Amino acid sequence: MSEEFKAKVRDISSLGLGIVDHPSGKVFFVPGTWVGDEGIFRIESEKKRYGHARLIKLETTSPVRVTPSCPHHGFEFGSCGGCPWMMVEYNEQLVAKTKFVSQAMKRANLLTSVDALKPIWASPKTLGFRNRAQFKTDGKRIGYVSAGSHEIAEIEDCLILNDKCRDLLVGLRKQLPSENWKASPGHDWNFIEIDDGLEAEAIKLNARQAFKQADEDQNLRMKSWLEDKISNLSEKDRGPIVELFCGSGNFTEILSRFSSHQTLAVESTPHSLEKLKDRDLVNVEVLQADIFLSESWGKIKSSMPEARVLVLDPPRIGFKSISKFIENFPSLQKIFYISCSIPDFIRDISSLVGWELSELQPVDQFPHTPHLELLAELTRREDAPQKA
């Protein structure tokens, strides 16, 4: 098989890579390309059924290509790679993300109604929207991890960060070089997490911040969506609420304000729970438990045995034991699932017997990347089996 070949990008994979066909018929995935790009590609690695290649000469450009705003954008060694779709018109990014969701849900046979899948919510901003970041530093440089490598891509600025976070980055760069930031033996770097709720003097090395949604404008829309759902529950569906992976209370606040019933907010991270307790929300009981351990489920059940609503916002890996978990709550009528991973979301809800996907709302929280958020409403069917 020839190492270099000419081809045209025919599609985009679910991981955001261009798809090209080698003259032999084998499929190759290529970063930094879009449908309509045509050029010379070089094979980088091969598996039995597919491979990975790199664009070495772009001869014909996709009509939706644009010049990236960021000087650090790129796919060569040392480039940031954190915004792999920045060279594509934003509307085309939304089209691709909508296609990802639609095709994945149809393949899984989870769209029982054509109206269940709603139009994607575009981000109001494509730059200056991100309110948090994690940088890597070796004491000489600070930046992100270069795509496809284990090297720091040094950055002077990051245009997707909001003004407060950009100012924090400027302050961090002024501290370089720093002996205190040098990696310990056996490690390549330390990490520094920032968010727009931190002041410069509060930033610490290798200290994780409580999770928060990355785009506050979109977060407000997501909270408004949940507010509407909770406020308009039918009499049959209203009742006590269990919230899993509640973090520091981003969605708990909505449950406290718009439900007259008790909410049990469950989280494993002490730092997040302290922030939640500081909110002093009404009708909210806080429980520290590792939700991924089935041994914790008994505590949750005994605290809220008659729960009628489940709200969960798990990490990217999802909650693959959700079907086993809800067997402990025979009174459950509604599930509101917030997900940032299409494959894990599909795996989880595919395991639910007797539940119907009433609504799926895609949300673009991550412009210039293939990632997106999903807001899902699931309703227990009348004929669903219930286990005590």
Strands (E), 61-117: none
Query: Annotated catalytic sites, by residue?
Result: 340
CA–CA separation, 365 and 124 (whole Å): 10
pLDDT at position 58 is 98
pLDDT at position 131 is 98
Which residue type does 331 have? Answer: S
Q: Per-residue confidence of the chain (388 residues) as pLDDT tens digits?
A: 679 999 999 999 999 999 999 999 999 999 999 999 999 999 999 999 999 999 999 999 999 999 999 999 999 888 998 999 999 999 999 999 999 999 999 999 998 888 999 999 999 999 999 999 999 999 999 999 988 788 999 999 999 999 999 999 999 999 999 999 999 998 999 999 999 999 999 999 999 998 899 999 999 999 999 999 999 999 999 999 999 999 999 999 999 999 999 999 999 999 999 999 999 999 999 999 999 999 999 999 999 999 999 999 999 999 999 999 999 999 999 999 999 999 999 999 999 999 999 999 999 999 999 999 999 999 999 876 655 5
pLDDT at position 386 is 59
Q: Does domain 4-60 have CATH number 3.40.50.620?
A: no
Angle, CA 106 vertex, CA 102 and CA 109 arms, to 5° = 145
pTM over 0.85: yes
Contacts by residues 17-21 (CB-CB < 8 Å, ≥ 24 positions apart): 18/55, 20/53
Both tokens of residue 227? 């507010």
CA–CA separation, 388 and 386 (whole Å): 7
In the chain, where the domains are located = 4-60, 97-124+215-380, 132-202
Whose structure tokens read 């730059």?
127
Other CB atoms closer than 10 Å to residue 220's CB: what's the count?
12
Architecture field, domain 97-124+215-380: 3-Layer(aba) Sandwich (3.40)
Residues composing the chain = 388
Nearest to 144 by CA among 209, 202, 70, 198: 70
